[in-house]
Chains A and B, each alone.
With several copies, the nearest count.
Chain A
Amino acid sequence: MLRDALLIAGKDLRLELRSRVALNQVLPFALLVLVLFAFALDPDRGLLARATPGLYWVAVLFSALLALQRSLSVESADGNRDALRLSGLDPAGIFLGKVLAVATQLAVLEVLLGVGVAVLYTTRITGWVLLAVTCVVATASIAAAGTLFGVVAAGLRVRETLLPLLLLPVLAPVLIGATRAFEAALAGSPSEGWPWVGLMGVFASLYIVAGVFGFGPLLEES
Chain B
Amino acid sequence: MRPSVPVPPTEAVIRLRGVVALLGRFPALAGIDLEVAPRRIVLLRGANGAGKTTLLRTLAGLIAVAEGQATVLGVDLVADRRAVRHRVGLLGHATGLYDDLTVGDNVRFWARAAGAEADDAEQALVRLGLAGRLRSVAVSRLSAGQRRRTSLACLIARRPELWLLDEPHAGLDQDGRDLVDTILREATAAGATVLLSSHELDRSLQLADEVVTIAGGVVVADTGMSAP
Chain A positions within 8 Å of B, measured between CB atoms, are 4, 7, 11, 14-15, 18-19, 74, 77-80, 82-89, 157, 216, 220, 222
CA distance A89 to B158 in the complex (A): 13
With A86-B62, A88-B86 known to touch, is A78 a contact of B114 (CB < 8 Å)? no
Q: How far is the CB of A11 from chain B (nearest CB, A)?
A: 5
5 residue pairs, one from A and one from B, having the closest CB atoms: A88-B86, A79-B94, A83-B96, A87-B113, A79-B96
With A14-B105, A79-B96 known to touch, is A86 a contact of B138 (CB < 8 Å)? no
- Sample of 7 A–B contacts (CB below 8 Å): A11-B98, A77-B99, A83-B154, A85-B62, A85-B85, A86-B90, A157-B99
B163 proximal to A (CB < 8 A): no
B206 proximal to A (CB < 8 A): no
Residues of the A chain whose Cβ atoms lie less than 8 Å from the Cβ of B61? 86
CA distance A189 to B76 in the complex (A): 60
Q: How far is the CB of A186 from chain B (nearest CB, A)?
A: 39
Closest to B96 in A: A83
| Other-chain residue from A78, A80, A83, A88 in contact with B115 (beta carbon distance below 8 A) | A88
Asked if A74 and B90 make an inter-chain contact with CB atoms under 8 angstroms apart, the answer reads no
CA distance A89 to B112 in the complex (A): 10
CA distance A78 to B154 in the complex (A): 15
| Other-chain residue from B88, B92, B93, B98 in contact with A15 (beta carbon distance below 8 A) | B98
Chain B positions within 8 Å of A, measured between CB atoms, are 57, 60-62, 82, 85-86, 88-90, 92-102, 105, 109-110, 112-115, 138, 140, 154
CA distance A151 to B90 in the complex (A): 22
Q: How far is the CB of A111 from chain B (nearest CB, A)?
A: 25
Asked if A19 and B100 make an inter-chain contact with CB atoms under 8 angstroms apart, the answer reads yes
Asked if B101 and A14 make an inter-chain contact with CB atoms under 8 angstroms apart, the answer reads yes
Asked if B112 and A7 make an inter-chain contact with CB atoms under 8 angstroms apart, the answer reads yes
Asked if A80 and B62 make an inter-chain contact with CB atoms under 8 angstroms apart, the answer reads no
Interface centre among B86, B96, B101, B138 (most CB of A within 10 A): B96
Closest to A86 in B: B85
Asked if A89 and B113 make an inter-chain contact with CB atoms under 8 angstroms apart, the answer reads yes
Q: How far is the CB of A91 from chain B (nearest CB, A)?
A: 9
Extra contacts, 11 of them, besides A11-B109, A79-B95, A86-B90 (Cβ < 8 A), are A18-B105, A19-B100, A77-B99, A78-B95, A79-B94, A80-B97, A83-B110, A84-B113, A86-B85, A157-B99, A216-B82
Residues of the A chain whose Cβ atoms lie less than 8 Å from the Cβ of B112? 7
With A86-B86, A86-B88 known to touch, is A222 a contact of B62 (CB < 8 Å)? yes
Closest to B105 in A: A14
Asked if A18 and B138 make an inter-chain contact with CB atoms under 8 angstroms apart, the answer reads yes
Residues of the B chain whose Cβ atoms lie less than 8 Å from the Cβ of A7? 109, 112-113
Residues of the A chain whose Cβ atoms lie less than 8 Å from the Cβ of B62? 82, 85-86, 222
CA distance A79 to B57 in the complex (A): 12
Residues of the B chain whose Cβ atoms lie less than 8 Å from the Cβ of A83? 96, 110, 154
Closest to B108 in A: A11
